[in-house]
Amino acid sequence: MRPRIVFRTHYQVDEPAYMEFLIKLCTSPVQSTYRELVAQKLAREIKTRGGKLNEDAGRYGADLAEDLGLITSNNVWTDKGHLVDLIASINYGTLEEQLKLNLAEKLLYFRVFLEADGAALLFLGRKLVECRAVANSEATWNALAKEMFVEIYSNYLRLTNSTSERVELRRMVNRINTQGYKGNSGEHKIFVHLHTLYRLGLIIRPENGRSRAYQLPDNAQGKPRGLEILLNEVPDMLSLEKVINTHRWIEIATKVFQIDRIHSPVGTAYPNTEKVLSLVMPYYEQIMSTGTPMCPLSTIIEAILIDQLANKSLLLSYNDAMSMIVAAQKERPKDIRFHVDRRGRPAFLKLSEDIVEACFEQVTA
């Protein structure tokens, strides 16, 4: 059981939106490349936009993308890398304007960070609810980083039954307990997680010169804050594992971002294959245009979930979306095909040329 916390981090790559720069501008969906080249490209992209990012930090940015599950060790897009390409957009304007996230991007990064870094988000969320604020201090960041990693690794040590994982987790806990963090190490370990919460709109960052400070927003009209809702819905590591493994992140996100929504059961909103294809086709074509041999079904589904919720306030569960695509495949098995994973579950989608051309003609008619 891998602890859901990213470890190799750097304070210069604390912006979630840097990941879309890395995916769209610095890596490929089909061609591998050297990590050093990715780091150079990312540093150049940030510098041309007026930001500060050296090549060493760019390397950490690429490592972060791998830890988040966006690229492989060969720097090729994963299914979640394709999801970033489908949902995120690089805007014009100042760097600050480009780093702000719209609702669809908030849902995207909530999904990505919850799976890869959810333990850190929950730990820091509890700290902020308890203390209301954390302010810039070398001692504060180092102490907070030590406490965070020791607590999270200790929690996973109690959860896992794997002997090798237990040995590694115990080694990490002992090392961090003994050595701790010094200098600016705490900043490197803490800022990525805190700033992600800030960009998601769950905490605020008061203007205070060049120093760092994060705090809870005011409690508007007595309503619970989004961060408090997250902690209530996902109170511990076991709950986090259940949410991830059952694909319930979209339901949690709807509550956390307090989106007014309409639940859409299968068969009511999308009663026929043509409407299902109208949802699937734009994402399918964009993915296949990259040269990827097969289209990840999970990427298609999650792109639909994000689009429907962000743009139509329509909540569709992962299982409902999968059910409606499976139903369409049963109706037109020659045109809609699945490739399955090792467990026999649909994992990749392949559409016939005839159905793609027919959908294209309907769009252009």
Task: Provide the pLDDT for residue 210.
Answer: 61
Task: Provide the pLDDT for residue 253.
Answer: 97
Q: Please list, in sequence order, all residues whose beta carbon lies within 8 angstroms of the beta carbon of residue 243, skipping any fewer than 6 positions away.
A: 114, 233, 234, 249, 252
For residue 357, name the pLDDT band (cuts at 50, 70, 90): confident
Question: Is pLDDT at 136 greater than 80 in this prediction?
Answer: no
d(CA 183, CA 212): 15
Task: Provide the pLDDT for residue 2.
Answer: 87
List, for residues 274-309, the tens digit of each pLDDT value. 889 999 999 999 999 999 989 999 999 999 999 999
Q: Please list, in sequence order, all residues whose beta carbon lies within 8 angstroms of the beta carbon of residue 121, skipping any fewer than 6 positions away.
A: 113, 114, 193, 196, 197, 230
Provide the CB-side half-sphere exposure for 353 (13 A, CA). 0
Q: Name residue 76's beta-bridge partners.
A: 28
d(CA 113, CA 66): 12
Average pLDDT over residues 242-261: 95
What burial class does residue 8 get, using C-beta atoms within 10 Å of its C-beta: 0-12 exposed, 13-18 middle, 19+ buried?
middle
**Token pair in block for residue 129:** 């609810």
Q: Please list, in sequence order, all residues whose beta carbon lies within 8 angstroms of the beta carbon of residue 151, skipping any fewer than 6 positions away.
A: 123
**Token pair in block for residue 116:** 């890869």
Task: Provide the pLDDT for residue 257.
Answer: 96
Q: Which domains does the chain have, with CATH numbers?
A: 117-191+203-259 (no CATH), 273-364 (1.10.10)
Average pLDDT over residues 112-129: 97
Question: Is pLDDT at 209 greater than 70 in this prediction?
Answer: no
What counts of helices (H) and strands (E) characterise the chain? 16, 7
List, for residues 63-120, the tens digit of each pLDDT value. 999 999 999 999 999 999 999 999 999 988 899 999 999 999 999 999 999 999 999 9
Question: Is pLDDT at 134 greater than 90 in this prediction?
Answer: no
Task: Provide the pLDDT for residue 13.
Answer: 95
Provide the CB-side half-sphere exposure for 171 (13 A, CA). 6
What burial class does residue 219 get, using C-beta atoms within 10 Å of its C-beta: 0-12 exposed, 13-18 middle, 19+ buried?
exposed
Whether 231 and 298 have beta carbons less than 8 Å apart is answered as no
Q: Name which of 93-102, 117-126, 210-219 the model is least confident about.
A: 210-219
Of 196, 205, 346, 191, residue with least CA distance to 280: 346
Question: Is pLDDT at 362 greater than 90 in this prediction?
Answer: no
The Cα-based distances of 338 to 202, 310, 348 in angstroms read 38, 28, 6
The Cα-based distances of 32 to 27, 37, 247, 339 in angstroms read 8, 11, 29, 24
d(CA 63, CA 66): 5
Rg (CA), the chain: 21
**Token pair in block for residue 91:** 């805007």
Question: Is pLDDT at 268 greater than 60 in this prediction?
Answer: no
As a whole number, the mean pLDDT across the chain is: 92
List, for residues 310-339, the tens digit of each pLDDT value. 999 999 999 999 999 999 999 999 999 999
What burial class does residue 50 get, using C-beta atoms within 10 Å of its C-beta: 0-12 exposed, 13-18 middle, 19+ buried?
exposed
Average pLDDT over residues 11-38: 97
Residue that wins the pLDDT comparison between 353 and 296: 296
The label of the residue with tokens 């392949």 reads 350
Question: Is pLDDT at 22 greater than 60 in this prediction?
Answer: yes
Residue 346 phi/psi, 5° resolution? Answer: -55, 125
Residue that wins the pLDDT comparison between 354 and 231: 231
Average pLDDT over residues 229-246: 96
The Cα-based distances of 281 to 85, 190, 296, 329, 360 in angstroms read 15, 40, 13, 14, 9
Task: Provide the pLDDT for residue 222.
Answer: 74
Task: Provide the pLDDT for residue 211.
Answer: 74
The two beta strands, 262-263 and 314-315, are: parallel
Of 74, 50, 61, 77, residue with least CA distance to 19: 61
Average pLDDT over residues 348-359: 86
